[in-house]
């Protein structure tokens, strides 16, 4: 690793603790929503998915958002797709029911949500069209992420798009300086730095993805983000050549 890309430092983020006081949890979730909106994560995901979601028959796509927290970005994604003329239903999934409940308390019952383990989703094979996530991949070890990608590939019928931060000293320095002014919660300041420290480089993410789900691309996204993207496999060409049968002499 170079000076600008320090070694990965795994940790457990405070927002993931089930004993975090509810008021502090709610403030940190609001900070996370603000980060996602400033970075335009839902808009970017909508732009990548929209070309694959246009259905001539007018059917609605089903999109599952993993590690959805309060579910706000799930709702934002559906709204951005709707502006593009794409009909889609999003479902927010998070292991912590408290995060989902905090979002429902502020935003009502939309989008639908389910508290479940992303490593063992309570859904049948191919039951979602697409699976997305934002700022979720960095929470897990390389071995865990390989298992996560395999589970995602099981449930996603068409593909997946996972957005995350990249490990680098510049976003780490920015969060340390600006986070204290911009964030409402001390948890967000500490977790923001922890997220960068345990995030992945492009090369590390590519190695994990290629081992787990071959054909997954890992792309650089400005600023200091990466996108793991697995589009639908192209249709298998059909050999339409007519076979000939030799006529008898």
pLDDT tens-digit series, residues 175-214: 888 888 899 999 999 999 999 999 999 999 999 999 999 9
pLDDT score, position 238: 53
Flag whether pLDDT at 231 surpasses 70.
yes
pLDDT band at residue 237 using 50, 70 and 90 as cut-offs? low
Q: Would you say residue 24 lies in a domain? A: yes
- Stretch 54-72: mean pLDDT, rounded? 89
User: How would you label 169-197 residue by residue, b for 16+ Cβ within 10 Å and e otherwise?
Assistant: eebbeebeeebeeebebebbbbbbbbbbb
pLDDT score, position 242: 45
Q: Would you say residue 43 lies in a domain? A: yes
Q: Would you say residue 93 lies in a domain? A: yes
Q: Would you say residue 6 lies in a domain? A: no
Residue 137 gets which letter from DSSP?
G
Q: Domain total for the chain? A: 1
For the stretch 118-167, pLDDT in tens is: 999 999 999 999 999 999 999 999 999 999 999 999 999 999 999 999 99
pLDDT score, position 239: 52
Flag whether pLDDT at 245 surpasses 50.
no
Residue 208's domain is classified under what CATH number? 3.40.50.150
* Domain range for 27: 14-230
Q: Would you say residue 9 lies in a domain? A: no
pLDDT score, position 249: 44
Q: Could you tell me which residues come within 8 angstroms of residue 54 by beta carbon, excluding any fewer than 6 positions away?
A: 85, 86
Q: Would you say residue 247 lies in a domain? A: no
Q: Would you say residue 3 lies in a domain? A: no
Neighbours of 230 (CB within 10 A): 22
pLDDT band at residue 54 using 50, 70 and 90 as cut-offs? confident
Flag whether pLDDT at 241 surpasses 70.
no
Q: Would you say residue 239 lies in a domain? A: no
CB 127 within 8 A of CB 157: yes
Flag whether pLDDT at 170 surpasses 60.
yes
For the stretch 65-89, pLDDT in tens is: 999 999 999 999 999 999 999 999 9
Flag whether pLDDT at 216 surpasses 90.
yes
**pTM for the complete prediction?**
0.91
């Amino acid at each position: 690793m170079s000076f600008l890309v320090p070694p990965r430092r795994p940790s457990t983020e405070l927002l993931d603790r089930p004993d975090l006081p509810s008021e502090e949890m709610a403030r940190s979730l609001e900070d996370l929503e603000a980060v996602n909106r400033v970075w335009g994560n839902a808009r970017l995901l909508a732009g990548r998915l929209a070309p694959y979601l246009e259905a001539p028959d007018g059917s609605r796509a089903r999109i599952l958002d993993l590690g959805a927290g309060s579910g706000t970005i799930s709702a934002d994604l559906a709204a951005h797709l709707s502006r593009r003329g794409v009909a889609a239903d999003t479902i927010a999934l998070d292991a912590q029911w408290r995060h989902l409940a905090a979002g429902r308390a502020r935003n009502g019952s939309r989008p639908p949500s389910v508290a479940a383990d992303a490593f063992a989703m309570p859904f049948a094979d191919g039951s979602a069209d697409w699976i997305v996530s934002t700022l979720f991949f960095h929470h897990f070890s390389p071995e865990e992420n390989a298992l996560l990608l395999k589970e995602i590939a099981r449930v996603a019928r068409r593909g997946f798009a996972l957005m995350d931060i990249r490990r680098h000293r510049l976003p780490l320095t920015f969060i340390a300086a600006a986070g204290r002014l911009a964030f409402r919660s001390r948890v967000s300041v500490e977790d923001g730095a922890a997220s960068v420290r345990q995030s992945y480089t492009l090369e590390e993410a590519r190695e994990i993805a290629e081992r787990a789900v071959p054909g997954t691309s890992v792309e650089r996204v400005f600023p200091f983000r990466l996108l793991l993207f697995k589009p639908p496999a192209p249709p298998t060409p059909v050999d339409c050549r007519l076979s000939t049968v030799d006529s008898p002499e």
